[in-house]
Structure 1
Amino acid sequence: MKLTRLATALAAGVLAVGVVAAAQAANPVTIVTVVKVTGINWFNRMDEGVKEFAKDNPGVTAYQTGPGQADAAQQLKIIEDLVAKKVDALAVVPYDPPTLEPVLKKAMDRGIKVVTHEADNEKNTMVDIEAFDNTAYGANLNEHLASCMHDEGKWAVLVGSLGSRSQVQWADGGINNAKAKYSKMDLVEPKLETNNDGERAYEVAKEVLRKHPDLKGFQGSSSLDVIGIGRAVEEAGLQGKICVYGTGLPGEAGKFLESGAVNGISFWDPKLAGIAMNKIALMLVHGQTVHDGDNLGIPGYTKVTVSKGPGKGIIVRGQGWVDVDKSNYKNYSF
C-alpha cells in the first residue's frame, strides 16, 4: 500500500513538473536588455550574464541589444520598437535617463515590466538596481587618488556623459570628498565629457595635460576614460608623475597598470549586473518584488538594501565593487 501511494505521489510530481514546463513553453517570457552602446568590452561582459541567465531559465527568452554608438536618440528608438513588440520585460542601462522617461512610462502602461541600472534618478521604472552606493564609490576612488597625490596638487575629472547619472554621481562623490578632506587638492577641470569613447578620452586627456603641465592626477568615470588617460600619460612619458584612478576593466586597463600609466581601477562585474537585472525582471513578471535584506543569490547582491525611488519604483543596491591595481588585477579574468 505504501509503495502504491509513493508511486502515485511520484507520478503526481512528474505530472506537475510537466504541467509547469508546458505552461512555460506555451507562454514564454521575453526579457530584453538594452545597453548604452554595443561592441565595447563592458557591455560584451554584461551580454555574457544575459546569455547565462537565459540558459539557466528554460522558458525565458533573454537577449541584449543597444545602439552601435553611445547616443540617447538611438537607444530611445530601440526601446520604442521593443515596446511596440510588447516584450514582457525591459532591462535598461540608460545613456541619458531623462530622455527615456516617456517611452518607459509607455512600456509600463502597456504592462511591460521595467528594470533599470545606473539610473537611480529614473522615475518611470519599477526597480533600479545599483551595484553599490554611487557617492561612496566615487569617494573611494578619490581616496586612492588623494593618497597617490600626497593630498595635494592639481587634478581633473572625466565622465563619459553628463547625462549618465551614475558617472556624474561618482564624479561628484570624488569632488565632494576632496573638498571636504583635502584642501590642497586643486580641481582644475571638473567633469569633462568623453562620450564613453576611448579615443575621445585620449584627446581630452592630452588637452588637459597641455593646458596644465603641472597636473598631478586624473579621476575617470567611464570604463574607457582610464584607457584614454593611460594612453596620453604613456605618450607623454609621465608614468609615476601623474596619478590615475577610475572605473575600468582588468582586461582593458591591465597594460596601463603594468606600465604605471594607470595606478588603480575599480569596477563591478557587468556580467553579474546583467544577471541581477534579468532576475529581477523575471520576478516582476511573476508578480514578485525585492525586499530589504534579500539575497538574490548573486555575488555582490547577497544582502541588498531597498529604498524608495524618485517615482513609484524602488532602488535596490548591492555591495559589488572591487578595487584592483598592478598587484592583483590578474586575479580577474575579464
Structure 2
Amino acid sequence: MRKTLFLTAALGLTMGVGTAAMADSPWTGGDNLPTSPLACDNTPGAAAAMPYDGGAVTGAPDLKGKPIKVVDVPKLIGIGYFNATSKGIADAAKELGNVDAKTDGPTQANIDQQVSFLDNYITSGVNGILFAANDPVAIAPVLKKALSKGIHVVGYDANSQPDAREWFVNQAQFNGIGKALVDDMAKEIGEDGAFAIVTSTFTTPNQARWIAEMAAYQAKCHPKMKWLETVEAQEDNNLSFNQATTLINKYDDELKGIFGMTSVATPASAEAVTQANMCGKIAVVGLATPNAMKPYVAKDCVKSVVLWNPVDLGYAAMYVLRAVVDGDLKPGAKSVKAGKLGELQIINGSEVLLGAPTTFTKENIGNFDF
C-alpha cells in the first residue's frame, strides 16, 4: 500500500467516468457539441467548411491604421501560462506600433470577477477586448454588451459562445489535443492501463472539449484503457496537488496514469507523484509550460508534456484583433496574416487556428523558455 499523504486544502467535486459508461453516454463537458475523434493510424483530419458564426459589432468607429486601446482579460493573472500569452500580446502590440495593450484580470479563475473586469473596461472605454473565458455561457452577456458599444472582441485559449465575440484564436483543434494526450498516455501505461484526470472545472470550455475528445478517441483507438475518475481543482496549485494525491491514495496500484488538463494541474500532479515516491509507477501526461515541467522531466518522473507556444497564442490574438479593427479580417475569410507567424488558417466558421500541439520531452524541452 502507498503511504497516505495529508491533505492541506478542501477537495473539489469529483465525477467518476467508467469506460462502459462513456460508451453508453459520452461525457461532452456539459455541452451537446459532437466529437470528431481523429484516425487511429495518424491520418490527418480535415476541418469541415462552415459559415461564419461569430458575432457582429455595432457602430464601431473607423480606426484603420489608427492607434487603438486594447485590454486583455484572461481567466486569471499571475500564473506562467497567462504571463506568456500576455507577453505575446505585448510583443505584437509593440511590433504593430499603433496599439496600446494591457493585461488585467482576477487573480483567481472566477467568472464573476472576470465579468466585472470586462464591464469596467467597457465603461472606461477601449477599442478592443481580448479574453480567455472562465465560462463560455456566463461571459457571453458582457461580451455582447461590448460588441453593442462598438468594441471589437476576440477570444483566445478558452472560447465563449460564438455570437458573443467576432473571432476566436484556437491554440489547436480539440481532437488533435485529445489524440496527442491519449496516445502519449497509452505509450506509457499500456493499452489496458487505468488513468484519472485533474482538470479545472467541468464547464471550463477548453478543458471540457479536450476531455470530450479524449473520451471519444480513447473509446475508438484505445478501448481497453480504463478511465477511473475526473476531478476538479480550479486553477489552484494546492487543490490540484491535493486532488492528485487523493487519486493516488484512493486507487492505489490500480492507478497507472494522471492527466493534467491545465498548466497548474500538470506540475502539481507531477509533484504529488514525486512526493508519493511513485515516479516511474504512475505516469503524468498533460498540458503545461515547459519551464514548469523541466524539473520533473529532468528526473524522469514525467516523460512528455503537450502544449502549444502560449507566447505565440497571445501574439496571434493581438494580430487578429488589429486585422478586425482595420477591416482586413471579415466573415468568409479563409486565412489571416499574423506577423512572424505568417498566414493562419480559419476553421469552423470563426476560429483562427494557431497550429498543431507540440510534445515536449527530455530531448527537446531545454530548447524552450516559457
| Coarse TM-score class (shorter-chain normalised) | 0.7 to 0.9
Which structure's relative contact order is higher, taking Cα pairs within 8 Å and 6+ residues apart?
A: 2
- Show the 5 A alignment for 1:176-325: 176-190=216-230, 192-214=231-253, 215-289=255-329, 291-299=333-341, 302-308=343-349, 314-325=350-361
Look up the match of 1:43: 82
Look up the match of 2:363: 327
Matched AA of 2:347: V
Equivalent residue for 2:208, pick from 153, 161, 168: 168
For residues 155-175 of structure 1, give each alpha carbon's deviation from its aligned partner in whole angstroms, at most 9, with x where no partner exists.
101211222211111122222
* Secondary structure class of the residue paired with 2:209: helix
For residues 75-117 of structure 1, give each alpha carbon's deviation from its aligned partner in whole angstroms, at most 9, with x where no partner exists.
0000000111221000111111211111111100111000011
* Secondary structure class of the residue paired with 2:252: coil
* Secondary structure class of the residue paired with 1:123: helix
User: Could you tell me how far apart the structure 1 residues matched to 2:306 and 2:289 are?
Assistant: 8
Alignment pair present for 1:98 and 2:134 = no
Matched AA of 2:264: L
Alignment pair present for 1:34 and 2:34 = no
Look up the match of 2:48: none
Look up the match of 1:142: 182
Equivalent residue for 2:172, pick from 94, 113, 132: 132
For residues 168-189 of structure 1, give each alpha carbon's deviation from its aligned partner in whole angstroms, at most 9, with x where no partner exists.
1112222222111223211010
Distance 1:227 1:40, change over 3 A: same
Which runs of 5 or more residues in structure 1 are unaligned?
1-22, 309-313
TM-score after normalising by structure 1? 0.86
Cα offset for 1:257?
1.1
For residues 218-276 of structure 1, give each alpha carbon's deviation from its aligned partner in whole angstroms, at most 9, with x where no partner exists.
11111111111101101111111111110011111111112222221111111111111
TM-score after normalising by structure 2? 0.78
Q: Greater shift after overlay, 61-70 or 116-125?
A: 116-125
Asked whether the equivalents of residues 35 and 94 of structure 1 are also in contact (C-alpha less than 8 Å), the reply is: yes
Asked whether the equivalents of residues 120 and 315 of structure 1 are also in contact (C-alpha less than 8 Å), the reply is: no
Asked whether the equivalents of residues 37 and 68 of structure 1 are also in contact (C-alpha less than 8 Å), the reply is: yes
Question: Alpha carbon RMSD of aligned pairs, Å?
Answer: 1.9
Equivalent residue for 2:151, pick from 112, 115, 120: 112
User: Could you tell me how far apart the structure 2 residues matched to 1:53 and 1:277 are?
Assistant: 9
* Secondary structure class of the residue paired with 1:188: strand
User: Could you tell me how far apart the structure 2 residues matched to 1:61 and 1:189 are?
Assistant: 45
Cα offset for 1:27?
5.5
| Structure showing the higher helix proportion among its residues | 1
Asked whether the equivalents of residues 88 and 315 of structure 2 are also in contact (C-alpha less than 8 Å), the reply is: yes
Asked whether the equivalents of residues 265 and 323 of structure 1 are also in contact (C-alpha less than 8 Å), the reply is: yes
User: Could you tell me how far apart the structure 1 residues matched to 2:106 and 2:162 are?
Assistant: 20
Distance 1:120 1:149, change over 3 A: farther
Cα offset for 1:298?
4.0
